[in-house]
Amino acid sequence: MKKIRNPHTGESFESFLQDEGIYEEVTATAIKRTIALQIAHEMTAQKISKSEMARRMKTSATQLGRLLDPDNDRVQLDTLVKAATAVGKSLWVKLA
């Protein structure tokens, strides 16, 4: 009996994204969403309100809302650093 090959297996998801030309965009969105979730988690764990977080970051509630919005991937690095500092954490960026 001849084995039928599944056409949906073989390459990695990463290479699929590269082939589609969307690897960088998808990766950037995933990183931003992960950081936003971590910041939101720290805010909850430390019982920091949105208004208190905005005050600590010296920014507006609107800007904080953009940072925490998982669909908004246009956040500047300095904003992420301010948010991490506001919850007592550090932001590390590394090339791999």
The domain spans of the chain are 14-86
User: How confident is the model at residue 13, as a pLDDT?
Assistant: 86
Provide the angle, in degrees to the nearest 10, between the axes of the packed helices 61-68 and 50-57.
100
Is the pLDDT at 5 greater than 70? The verdict is no
Q: Where would I find the H helices in the chain?
A: 13-20, 23-45, 50-57, 61-68, 77-86
- Tell me, yes or no, if the pTM score tops 0.85: no
CATH architecture of residue range(s) 14-86: Orthogonal Bundle (1.10)
- 38: helix, strand or coil: helix
